[in-house]
Amino acid sequence: MTTPVSSIRNLGPAMEASCEKAGIHSAEELRALGPDETYRRLLQTGMKPHFIGYYVLVMGLQGRPWNDCKGDEKRNLRKNFDQIKSQASDEGRGAFEQMMNKIGILEKR
């Protein structure tokens, strides 16, 4: 038996629909992927990157309230988010384009 994504704390029907679009069909699959891979897959399916959405996912998987993320933990999550976002926008680009994107030269897709 599988459990719906929306059974995870902080995650509702909109996140469940986004996960479904990304091929993540249950809370068990989402937990197995973890927040970083889940978010990367969500971005690959066209979801707009949003830091709050990322840390809500992280907090939910830890069973914590969405607004429990503060201080150094939040700064570290921001670094993870920026890296995931950058990697997702670099897929399909050559090494030179990826390097140019890292220094902010390329236009956003």
Average pLDDT over residues 25-32: 98
Cα Rg of the chain (Å, integer): 15
Residue 67 within any structural domain of the chain? yes
Residue 95 within any structural domain of the chain? yes
Average pLDDT over residues 23-52: 95
Q: What is the pLDDT of residue 30?
A: 98
* pTM for this entry: 0.79
Residue with tokens 């996960």: 19
Residue 91 within any structural domain of the chain? yes
Structurally, the chain folds into a number of domains equal to 1
Task: Look at residue 102 and tell me whether its pLDDT is greater than 60.
Answer: no
Judged by DSSP in three states, 17 sits in helix
Residues 15/22, Cβ–Cβ less than 8 Å: no
Domain that holds residue 25: 5-102
Which CATH number goes with the domain that contains 28?
1.10.150.20
CB-based contacts of 30: which residues, under 8 Å, 6+ apart?
5, 8, 19, 24, 38, 61
Mean pLDDT over each residue of the chain, to the nearest integer: 88
Residue 109 within any structural domain of the chain? no
Please give the sequence-ordered ranges of beta strands (E in DSSP) within 1-109, or none if there are none: none
For residue range 85-94, what is the model confidence (pLDDT) as tens digits? Answer: 888 765 655 6
